[in-house]
Amino acid sequence: MAALAIACGALAGAGPEGFVQPRDEDERFVNLDREGPLGFSSVLRWKVWDGWILGRNRKSPDRAPVPRAEPDWEAIKTPPGPGEGARLTWIGHATWLVQLDGQSFLTDPVLGDAITGFISRNVPPGVPFERLPRIDAVLVSHSHYDHMDLPTLERLGAPVVAGLGMAALLRDEGLTGTDLGWWQSTEVGGVRITFVPAQHFSQRGLGDRNQTLWGGFVIQGSSATVYHAGDTAWFQGFKQIGERFAIDAAMLPIGAYDPRWFMKAAHVDPEEALQAFVDLGARTFLAMHWGTFKLADEPLDEPPRLLEEGRVRRGLPPERVRAPAIGETVLVRRAAAPEPAPGDDGASPREP
């Protein structure tokens, strides 16, 4: 089991100078702009008034075909070494196997057949438990059930990196964790992991909204830097993240966006995800958070179609905007830095 060495406070250049984690008057966490999601009355409007009574909501099946790929089982047994880039395998929803610099991580691992007991998987995990390599650490973006699945975490038994307040919650379940504020970092086996802002919220029960922190992760190895957004709406923070890190691949959500009046405060749609990609200045867009669980009103297979329409409309090259199949592996490696021009020292304000 890898030891976690937390870097207390923001690393040099990782966050705004003098940054203070924002909270409300009740000491609950808030977004950077202090805006939050809609409340329970809006859930009732969506599900009961608009849905059951008026029939206004879009109706779509709970199942849809989703592309699958057979992983290279031999390759994923051993993570790439230092200088060999990163290997990213989409397992489904927000779960990725991220391998670089001799380390293997799982993001938001949910490997069971259902979440909350009744929302079943549309497609099996791209890599089942029995085919996983040794996991050095698990990265949990926030406490929602489709991102933090306690049975999966307990079965994995790996140390967890998550937002502030999560370590105590994990200890109650017999799990070990390191919790971070926004822009704080930890290292696992020489790989630096920084917790960065997201526009979302946290909640697992009736009275615990925003008592634990949500966010995304920037994972920096010797020859690749990747970003996992977790769950998020569009916000100005994407530009802040892009200003501070040179991101080779961004794993961005594209699903669970309809109805827009309700979901916009917590989830990007494909067009907003593309804008986030542009704001981040990342080299490659990798789509996630679609096709696995039916969480909203849009058809399960609609998000990648809208993503492709948006890519064409924006004139982005197809090799830069990708919607991998379940189980597909993407290899990422930092591009060689161009030779500095005469009189240019080659310095960059962003961390590699």
**141: its two tokens:** 């973006």
Q: Are 106 and 92 in contact (CB under 8 A)?
A: no
Task: Say what the alpha-carbon torsion angle 33, 192, 335, 313 is, to the nearest 10 degrees.
Answer: -30
The rounded distance, in Å, linking the Cα atoms of 100 and 87 is 6
Instruction: Give me the residue spans of the domains in the chain.
Output: 69-332
**336: its two tokens:** 């060689």
The rounded distance, in Å, linking the Cα atoms of 45 and 43 is 5
Closest CA to 193 of 243, 236, 143, 227: 227
The rounded distance, in Å, linking the Cα atoms of 51 and 33 is 31
Residues of the chain with pLDDT under 50: 1-13, 338, 341-348
The rounded distance, in Å, linking the Cα atoms of 101 and 112 is 28
Q: Are 119 and 85 in contact (CB under 8 A)?
A: no
Confidence (pLDDT) at 82? 97
Confidence (pLDDT) at 185? 97
Fold held by 69-332: Metallo-beta-lactamase; Chain A (3.60.15)
The rounded distance, in Å, linking the Cα atoms of 264 and 214 is 17
Residue 213, Cα to own-chain centre: how many angstroms?
14
Q: Are 211 and 179 in contact (CB under 8 A)?
A: no
Cα atoms found within 13 Å of the Cα of residue 238, Cβ hemisphere only: 24
The rounded distance, in Å, linking the Cα atoms of 138 and 98 is 10
Confidence (pLDDT) at 9? 35
